[in-house]
Structure 1
Amino acid sequence: MIKYQTLLYYCYSRISDAEQFASDHLQFCKSLNLVGRIIVADEGLNGTVSGTDESCKIYMDTLHADPRFSKIDFKIDDVEEPSFIKMHCRYKAEIVHSGLRDPGIIDPELKTGIHLEPEDFVKMKDDDDIVIVDVRSNYEHSIGRFKNAITFDIENFRDFPEKINELAKYKNKKIVTYCTGGIKCEKASALLLHEGFENVYQLHGGIIKYGKEAGGEDFEGKCYVFDNRVAVDVNSVNPVVISTCRNCGTHTTKMINCANPECNEHFTQCDACGEKLDGACSVICQSHPRIRVYDGTGYYVKVPQPINKEKLKPVKA
């Protein structure tokens, strides 16, 4: 039986001729029969890839052998099947879109918040002088977040800078930022320091690392991930479900895209309402003439196609 893994990682490290690197790296990933999504920018890499255990090991070993990427902290999940359909590796201006590209203001390689290891976060998260800040988008924290965390109604991380003023009253506190894997916190914490916050920390490795190394205590709900799994379990200590079905209010962790392709809104919906509304977010969307066929997952790809597991068999080094 073939075993699969999904790797989540990022690395802020300067890449010369990053556009060519993205093209070459795509071919390298395809040679390993990996599937996933990687963003390459002049400032580094941000990726999630999935494939056989052997292919993933070759991939990690190869990146770690490159001095630019030797410090990458891979978050590894064992999965029953690959977490993507295709392999994408694209060049972009930033590895996480913030709109903050002035190196005089934000450069995670030079200055960022203190990296707080999961076990240290457990010890201090309930202290009176600690403020826990979620820097993710609203649809992410709607399905899961740390107990007592401050969240923002933002659709994209690039909206975070506009919310800094809401934290002004906490300038005399210790601010701990967190996100899925840590990448957004590198820039969020750097921005907070630039804005005059003095005691800024970030949860190293994000929610995923915290779940693996500290049991996920006090993370309520599930963690949103950007692949076919949509959301994963984190808390094995005191788990609860906090998200509710938009249509009936029942507690559910299931997040789908509206079956109406012109709406395509990301939202939580229980199985009963999904069946009743054919995966649409409302009766209006259910009646749309181009409504997509709802298969119970609420996950749609541009060109539906089965995963060719024959191509994903272990490669030979």
Structure 2
Amino acid sequence: MKKYQTLLYYCYSPITHAEQFAADHLLFCQSLNLVGRIIVADEGLNGTVSGTPEACRTYMDALHADERFAHTDFKIDEVDQPSFIKMHCRYKPEIVHSGLRDPKVIDPNTETGKHLEPAEFMEMKDRDDVIVLDVRSNYEHQVGRFKNAVTLDIENFREFPQKINELAQYRDKKILTYCTGGIKCEKASALLLKEGFKDVYQLHGGIIKYGKEAGGKDFDGKCYVFDNRVTVDVNHVNPKVISQCLNCGAQTDRMINCANPECNEHFTQCEACGWSMEGCCSDTCTTHPRKRPYDGTGYYVKLPQPVNTEKLSKRKQQQAMPSSSL
């Protein structure tokens, strides 16, 4: 058993006074000596936290004891070191940025694609009447994806709604969506249904759960994760590297962020080019005055911004004021 665990989870469940909840939840996580990144929105939680098994168990028990989050599905990884350095817990408009904020239009608690457990997904994915759809961004599916999956040219999930028309040719197929942990599929599958796709499914628990329960069979490459591990192994049955070094073309699944913070490009780079390019994606970036020191990992920690409790409710107070006083 390893010394630490990393928990990946999300939960669509309305949170009243979500800004205050974020401030309080940060203090709770810090009291457990957890590190990680949690997004809190009026629509729910999206988090990855890391700490000792005891701290992680206390955290999971606390969320499950809250009726709002009682159905939260935690994906648990055993790790040698915590997967973050700092603890972030921030309020944002959505728990995953999609631009689909109106619950009257898209509400994962009301209608989404049918959830498939990993074994069900594995059994269905190769049928002739099925299309497997990756709803993640370019840098994610370029380093790893299911065999024969349909991928979209998007830099961020908020671009997904713009790509619906490109999928029109698959309207008569069963659409099996997947993402890292399942959170993007909740809104992606709901949007597909709204746009007239009749037979829509989603991989419950995403790639991470599929790797744990189905051995990751037919997932080529590695899975991008949003912590200092950057990518993780998923396929323990028939693994295959599918990505290449941006600089020399050598086969590699090693993904980093460019050392130039104004670029910060996600890209694959072999270890040799990493050292020769000082963690940069191009010669131009190697000469940038703000270039960060390269330590061989290509992972750079953002300093956490403290929650300003004095301004937590300022926006809501303004919204509550009579229009004549504004």
CA distance in 2, matches of 1:279, 1:241: 21
**Residue identity in the other structure for 2:39:** I
**Which residue number in structure 2 is paired with residue 199 of structure 1?**
199
Query: CA deviation digits over 1:163-208, x for unaligned, max 9?
Result: 0011101111000100000000000000000000000000000000
Identity of aligned residues (%): 76
TM-score with structure 1 length normalisation? Answer: 0.94
The alignment partner of 2:163 has SS state of: helix
CA positional deviation for 1:153:
1.1
Task: Give the 5 Å matches for 1:189-228.
Answer: 189-228=189-228
Cα deviation, 1:112-144, whole Å, max 9, x if unaligned, reads 000011000111110000000000010111100
Q: Is the 8 A contact 1:223 1:234 kept in 2?
A: yes
Structure 2: distance between partners of 1:2 and 1:172: 47
2:299 counterpart residue number? 299
Aligned partner of 2:232 in structure 1 is 232
Give the corresponding residue for 1:245: 245
TM-score (norm. length: structure 2): 0.91
Matched residue type, 2:251: H
2:94, 2:263 → 1: CA distance?
27
| Aligned partner letter, 1:277 | M
Query: 1:285/1:12 Cα in 2 relative to 1: closer, same or farther (>3 Å)?
Result: same
Distance in 2 (CA, whole Å) between partners of 1:21 and 1:181 is: 23
- What pairs with 1:1-317 in structure 2 (closer than 5 Å)? 3-302=3-302
Residue aligned with 1:142, SS: helix
Answer whether contact 2:32 2:55 (CA < 8 A) is retained.
yes
Counterpart residue number, 2:324: none
Between the aligned partners of 2:19 and 2:295, the Cα distance in structure 1 is 38
Instruction: Report the 3-state secondary structure (helix = DSSP H, G, I; strand = E; otherwise coil) of the residue aligned with 2:172.
Output: coil
Deviation per CA, 1:131-163: give whole Å up to 9, x if none: 000000101111000000011111110000000
Unpaired runs of 5+ residues, structure 1, are: 305-317
Contact 1:2 1:52 in 2 (8 A): no
Separation in 2 of the partners of 1:82 and 1:166? Answer: 40
**8 Å Cα contact 2:2/2:78 also seen in 1:** no
CA contact (8 A) 2:3 2:80 kept: yes
**Which residue of 2 is the match for residue 312 of structure 1?**
none
Unaligned stretches of 5+ residues in structure 2: 305-326
